[in-house]
Chains A and B, each alone.
Chain A
């Protein structure tokens, strides 16, 4: 069973701090990794995608990928109360051909306290 694991949280950080969200995956052949943000009662919104080992930065967000250790993380710098949401890690399923089937973790709830 191919799995994506996330700590459900909640992860609580003070405003202005760095929030670190982590995700591990079981399928060593996975090539594409995504972070989605989901506010309560809303649908997932794409924040970042990463395909290569290392760091990828976009504004206050940095995605980190380590394929050897099979983990992907998301750092949020200068956290704001508006960042409070559930963050979903998603990994493409290897062997699904061109389907692009995504396997999601259960999400980590982030709370940024003013």
Chain B
């Protein structure tokens, strides 16, 4: 167990709806990264949050947004859901120190199904 938690574990939404996924980072970690993993593929970087601000973003549209809270927990919000958003959403916790990000540890993931 990594100490990273995510909720909910599973979610079913319909196209056009909005969803919020949550993540609590491991104790001592100050950075949260979000990844999307489609079936049979490796995880794709969505964005990272550090000190409550976005600290890097992958090739995802603006309808993917996030937040980080003072306790380092984080939310991923997806608006106007599309069928292709169906995937496993992974949160990874790490420490940012000395100008570089330490090893990332993943939570259990949220399986999102869009119908």
Contact = CB atoms under 8 A, between A and B. Distances in A.
A9 B17 CA distance: 37
Given A43-B106, A44-B90, A45-B106, A101 B43 contact: no
Nearest to B94: A100
A101 B42 CA distance: 13
A46 B103 contact: yes
Contact of B96 (A34, A98, A105): A98
Given A98-B96, A100-B33, A106-B42, A43 B90 contact: yes
Nearest to B45: A101
A110 to B, nearest CB: 15
Q: Is the interface of B mostly helix, strand, loop or mixed?
A: strand
Contacts, number: 71
Contacts of A46: 103-106
B76 interface: no
Interface residues of B, number: 31
Contacts of A99: 48, 55-56, 101
B113 interface: no
Size bin of chain A's contact surface: 20 to 34
A36 B37 CA distance: 14
Interface in B51-70: 55-56, 58
Given A43-B88, A43-B107, A102-B104, A97 B43 contact: no
Nearest to B54: A99
Given A88-B42, A106-B42, 7 more contacts: A43-B90, A43-B107, A98-B99, A98-B100, A99-B56, A102-B45, A104-B35
Interface of A: 4, 34, 36, 42-46, 49, 88, 90, 92-93, 96-107
